[in-house]
Amino acid sequence: MSRNLYIDFHVIQTVPPSCVNRDDTGSPKTAMYGGTMRARVSSQAWKSAMREMFKELFTADYIGYRTKKLPQLVAEQMCADDKEISIEEVGKTVNEVLELVGIKAGSDKKDALFFVSSRQIQNIAKLAAAYHKDSSSKEAKKKAYKADLEKAVNSEPSVDILLFGRMAASNPSLNYDAAAQVAHSISTHTVNNEYDYFTAVDDCGPEDTAGAGHLGTVEFNSSTLYRYATVNIRELAENLNADELKMAVRGFAEAFIRSMPTGKQNTFANRTLPSMVYVALRGDQPVNLAGAFEKPVFAGNKGYEEVSETELMKEAGRVYADYVAAPSMAWVIGREHGDFAKKVNLAELLEEIEQETGKYFDEGK
């Protein structure tokens, strides 16, 4: 499959008072953009929320683990495959096998956090079991098993590894380039963080006790966010069959639109859904439309959502006229915006994305 195909997702979403994504001091993340302070939610935070939703959308075979406990997972799989061995018995073998392919085992190692699929764990466990039972010398076993182990770690990646990529600094041959890119979300307008001063009563305190049992502050803001992501269909198609490709793209679309990072969720109950989703199918390059908000929008008496949506569509028109072709297909959820895109609901959008993805795979074949 040689031709390019990208799906760009543009989302306008209002979040009420909240602390969705905190920095190291506990403050909501922000960024300077267009000369003013904006609310920000990092791409890492939203990708983490998406991966949690993948658990609802994909079966276990298509979900990966980013973990420091890979040795434990492999050992547990070995014990599940062979009831006659114990985790203690195979622990040293597992560490040897993983370090043989450049994966530093053990939580005390710098590069211990590793992204791995369920199928890769199963494949590594089978080879580790054979390695464990092999009576050859250590050097002979290393020579005999290294190539197969690298293949086991590289083959059958999960959907989230393909979408978000994998980096192994100690062995770059295990890397996967990300087929998807997710931008940091920023508010379309200027924000100022605020503080919630709260108190808590001691339910078991004496009746004549004055004052609170506990008091503190929580920093928060509220904002209308512009969120952007893009998926490279060609890159995904190189590693997935037709049904898997449709499943992966549909799942990414639904998770990006519906997910929400969980920072201070119990405190603020801030889980909202977008006011607008604009999706563009492109054959040339991805196009981020954040320039629509380089000049912060002002609410007036209509709030931020409607004016943000209008500015987004204006920016799309300007970019299409001056730099790139209009998308081959486009859809919008929410208010109608002229002939810019076909108006759909979420279920219809997901169906149409799946159909277009399937067409791409068929035409590539």
- Please state the domain extents for the chain: 6-57+178-207+221-364, 65-157
Amino acid at 295: K
Asked whether the beta carbons of 107 and 96 are under 8 A apart, the reply is no
Amino acid at 176: Y
- Over residues 286-314, mean pLDDT: 95
Q: Is it the case that residue 316 has pLDDT exceeding 80? A: yes
- Residue 125, judged by CB atoms within 10 A of its CB (0-12, 13-18, 19+), counts as buried
Mean pLDDT taken over the chain: 91
What is the C-alpha to C-alpha distance for residues 42 and 126, in angstroms, rounded to an integer? 38
Helix 70-81 and helix 87-100, axial crossing angle in degrees, nearest 10: 120
Confidence of residue 273 (pLDDT cuts 50, 70, 90): very high
Residue of higher predicted confidence among 330 and 88: 330
Full 3-state SS string of 154-194: HCCCCHHHHHHCECCCCCHHHCECCCEEECCEEECCCCCCE
Can you give the length of the chain in residues?
Answer: 365
Q: Is it the case that residue 107 has pLDDT exceeding 80? A: no
Asked whether the beta carbons of 232 and 6 are under 8 A apart, the reply is yes
Q: What is the pTM of this model?
A: 0.92
Q: What is the pLDDT of residue 364?
A: 65
What is the C-alpha to C-alpha distance for residues 356 and 281, in angstroms, rounded to an integer? 9
Structure tokens, 244: 């898997």
- In this predicted model, what pLDDT tens digit does every residue of 153-183 receive, in sequence order? 999 999 999 999 998 887 888 999 999 999 9
- Over residues 292-303, mean pLDDT: 93
3-state DSSP call for residue 37? strand
Q: Which of 171, 197, 174, 185 is nearest to 290 (CA)?
A: 185
Q: Which residues pair with 226 in a beta bridge?
A: 12, 186
Q: Is it the case that residue 1 has pLDDT exceeding 60? A: no
Q: Which of 299, 315, 296, 34 is nearest to 188 (CA)?
A: 296
What is the C-alpha to C-alpha distance for residues 272 and 260, in angstroms, rounded to an integer? 8
Q: What is the pLDDT of residue 108?
A: 54
What is the C-alpha to C-alpha distance for residues 283 and 359, in angstroms, rounded to an integer? 14
- In this predicted model, what pLDDT tens digit does every residue of 208-223 receive, in sequence order? 666 677 778 889 999 9
What is the C-alpha to C-alpha distance for residues 246 and 155, in angstroms, rounded to an integer? 20
Q: What is the pLDDT of residue 58?
A: 96
Q: Is it the case that residue 109 has pLDDT exceeding 70? A: no
- In this predicted model, what pLDDT tens digit does every residue of 231-262 receive, in sequence order? 999 999 999 999 999 999 999 999 999 999 99
Q: Is it the case that residue 299 has pLDDT exceeding 80? A: yes
Q: Is it the case that residue 269 has pLDDT exceeding 80? A: yes
Q: What is the pLDDT of residue 153?
A: 94
Q: Among the residues of the chain, which ranges form H helices?
A: 43-57, 70-81, 87-100, 118-133, 138-154, 159-164, 233-237, 242-258, 265-268, 305-322, 346-364
Structure tokens, 291: 């320039």
Confidence of residue 105 (pLDDT cuts 50, 70, 90): low
